[in-house]
Structure 1
Amino acid sequence: MSLRTRIYIVILLLSGLGYQASGIAKTFSLQDSLRRYQPGKSYTFQVESAIGEHAIAIEYIAGDAGSKLILTSPHGGDLKPEFMHTRTKDFVVSGSDLDYGDTESFSAMADSKTLELTLALAEEIRKVTGLRPHVVLNHLHRSKLDANRAMSLAAQGDENAIAAWKAFHQYIEDAKVQVAKNGSGLVLNIHGNAHRPQRTEVGLLLSGKDFLSGDLEKLADQSSVRALVRSGKASMKELATGDTALGTLLNEGGFTATPSKAYPNPIDANDFPDRRYFNGGYNTARHGSRFSGNISAIQLEFNQDVRMNDRSRNNYAKSIARAVTAFMNRYFK
């Protein structure tokens, strides 16, 4: 039985009773986060209704002690517990949330199959490097929880969603503590886009217009890889469009990736007439090095061909793993 099948959902129904409008969330405390994690073991956080229905919301698969890599899937879940509030675009965002990146744009659409892609990528990286990366997954559908927004818009006041949001980010923080023991590290936020023509987008918190400026070095402190540039291991231009930029390494694996050496401008109308580009959101800002710390972050937006086909997805994961490993070997050894 696959991991995906085993962990999906546990429902405990009391005879003769249906779902209630709101649920009671288990509290996720700091004490929970201080447990001793065992590499390769799965740790889960469940949401719970007032009548005892449960669903696995968040999962952390602990990485090996020597790993410097964290993979997250905030939008890949498909569970829709009826006892949880369904998010709406009419929700008014709290002003207290405006700390990290995008807190106002609303979407309830899932990044389909990105959870599966994240798990496949983690396994391929383990095979290539001998080290398990840390993995944090949101199993709830985006209509119930958007784990890549600040808490107000992400959960919209639902107690279960708030608790799950806290668990998701606490698991990432716990993984970062483990990674920090090895020095620097990297968080890869795995997403999906439906842009046309299809391409994979590498988000460094620099906007599409920033790539028109001609001087990326002046923008390094605004990026999610600020720590790497400040360490002297790379210039901003090298990380965005150089020979060993992650986009360039993905190009070499057969992907149309931007920004990269081959496609340096993600909003170049000649290459991408729709001029759409996702440059990174809440998680990339919060868990990267733009504001503090020695752990950087990159948002990877994979096109549909890469993630949607169950037969071909693992082959794509192998190519992504080779690119990610080459990037890690270059900048995080």
Structure 2
Amino acid sequence: MYKKITYLIVCLFAIASINQSAKALPTLSVQDTILRYVPGQRYIFKVSDSSGAYATAIEYIPGDSKSKLILTSPHGGNLKPEFIRTRTKDYVATQDEKDYGDTESFSAVSDSKTLELTMELADEIKRLTGLRPHVVLNHLHRSKLDANRGMSLAAQGDRNAELAWKAFHQYIDAARVLVLKNGEGLLLDIHGNAHRPQRTEVGLLLKAKDFLSDNLEQYADQSSVKALVKGGKATMTDLVKGKYALGTLLSDEQILAVPGRSIPNPTDKTVFPDGKYFNGGYNTARHGSKFGGLLSAIQLEFNSDVRMDDRKRPEYVKHIAKAIHQFMDKYYN
């Protein structure tokens, strides 16, 4: 009986997953995208070599049809298939898609537990709001693929890594289509930082010097939340240090986050002597509204206390999900 039950579970899991082989995903029209992707279905893009070895690279789980939220995890994977070259800091990147920001800085360090954090957040947001967000995950370790850089530095010429990079961004593009059926939307790119003292960082593509200005509105066009400001939903001041700024809402939930109402300058060295702050990267620029459209994007850099302890993380997830829900309720309803 046990064997029969186990076999049934395996079969159901196989049915519930749709595998994409290691080739470029098709470019779909809006209507085709809507028809192709089923809410809650797992779409898995696998990479492989000539020997038949393969690895799960990218996973997309479409959200509920009325969801306006996308969660992405580009650096949380831990798979290191030997048939994908290991990225090196000595690689000379081309300036591909340089308008999208960082195409040069190298790191092969994973953002540990951010994949788990992203999946748990999706579950909690569903429980809290009734709507499951769209989720796109990179299962490859950052030493094999950096899904938050332009393709040249991200994949360093490896064919499988390039295909996985394309799949990651094509799945986000598909999620964008489904979200924008509802008029507008938000992408949260989930990362981890090791800055000390610990804090969570909210990246809107504003630079360190911008936070010193008395006129934050002048930076709306350079931000990843341009659509919210230009659409009259919020001002840049609201989104940086207002009552409903995401950093404020997270801090209200006992997760110190910057910028926000209590600490509007995330590089204030009287508070954070290291002066470090991640303001957003390739994904935030490419998929946000800086270059147009109605999908805004925010990079969330969670400190280690929030994400690393498997026993404590579920409680943090509840607080993070509540802050995200309040932000969405304010600006996307």
TM over 0.5: yes
RMSD over aligned CA atoms reads 1.7
On the 8 A contact 2:95/2:103 being kept in 1, the answer is no
* 1:320 counterpart residue number: 320
Q: Secondary structure at the match of 1:59?
A: strand
* 1:152 counterpart residue number: 152
Residue 274 of structure 2 aligns to which amino acid in structure 1? D
Aligned counterparts of 2:161 and 2:180: Cα–Cα separation in 1: 28
Aligned counterparts of 2:125 and 2:95: Cα–Cα separation in 1: 40
* 1:44 counterpart residue number: 44
* 1:10 counterpart residue number: none
Aligned counterparts of 1:215 and 1:159: Cα–Cα separation in 2: 46
Aligned counterparts of 2:60 and 2:126: Cα–Cα separation in 1: 16
Moved over 4 A (4+): none
Q: CA deviation at 1:95?
A: 2.6
Residue 218 of structure 1 aligns to which amino acid in structure 2? Q
Which of 27, 31, 45 is residue 24 of structure 2 equivalent to? 27
2:237 is equivalent to residue 237 of structure 1: yes
* 2:162 counterpart residue number: 162
Aligned counterparts of 1:123 and 1:212: Cα–Cα separation in 2: 38
Amino-acid identity (%): 65
Q: CA deviation at 1:275?
A: 0.6
Q: CA deviation at 1:99?
A: 2.7
Aligned counterparts of 1:39 and 1:312: Cα–Cα separation in 2: 29
Residue 278 of structure 1 aligns to which amino acid in structure 2? F
Q: CA deviation at 1:116?
A: 0.2
* 1:12 counterpart residue number: none
Q: CA deviation at 1:136?
A: 0.1
Within a 5 Å distance, the mapping from 1:120-199 to structure 2 comes to: 120-199=120-199
Q: CA deviation at 1:97?
A: 3.2
* 1:86 counterpart residue number: 86
On the 8 A contact 1:61/1:136 being kept in 2, the answer is yes
Q: CA deviation at 1:29?
A: 2.6
**1:66-109 CA distances to partner (integer Å, 9 max, x unpaired)?**
00000000000000000100000111111333131111000000
On the 8 A contact 1:25/1:159 being kept in 2, the answer is no
On the 8 A contact 1:72/1:137 being kept in 2, the answer is yes
* 1:20 counterpart residue number: none
Q: CA deviation at 1:188?
A: 0.1
TM-score norm. by structure 1 comes to 0.92
Q: CA deviation at 1:277?
A: 0.1
Aligned counterparts of 2:100 and 2:210: Cα–Cα separation in 1: 19
* 2:283 counterpart residue number: 283
Aligned counterparts of 2:91 and 2:125: Cα–Cα separation in 1: 39
Aligned counterparts of 2:95 and 2:322: Cα–Cα separation in 1: 42
Q: Which runs of 5+ in 1 are unaligned?
A: 8-23
Q: CA deviation at 1:315?
A: 0.7
Aligned counterparts of 2:24 and 2:253: Cα–Cα separation in 1: 43
On the 8 A contact 1:97/1:152 being kept in 2, the answer is no
Aligned counterparts of 2:96 and 2:106: Cα–Cα separation in 1: 17
Q: Which runs of 5+ in 2 are unaligned?
A: 1-5, 7-12, 15-20
Q: CA deviation at 1:25?
A: 3.9
Within a 5 Å distance, the mapping from 1:262-277 to structure 2 comes to: 262-277=262-277
* 2:260 counterpart residue number: 260
On the 8 A contact 2:22/2:45 being kept in 1, the answer is no
Q: CA deviation at 1:31?
A: 5.2
Aligned counterparts of 2:24 and 2:221: Cα–Cα separation in 1: 36
Aligned counterparts of 1:31 and 1:185: Cα–Cα separation in 2: 20
Aligned counterparts of 1:141 and 1:299: Cα–Cα separation in 2: 19
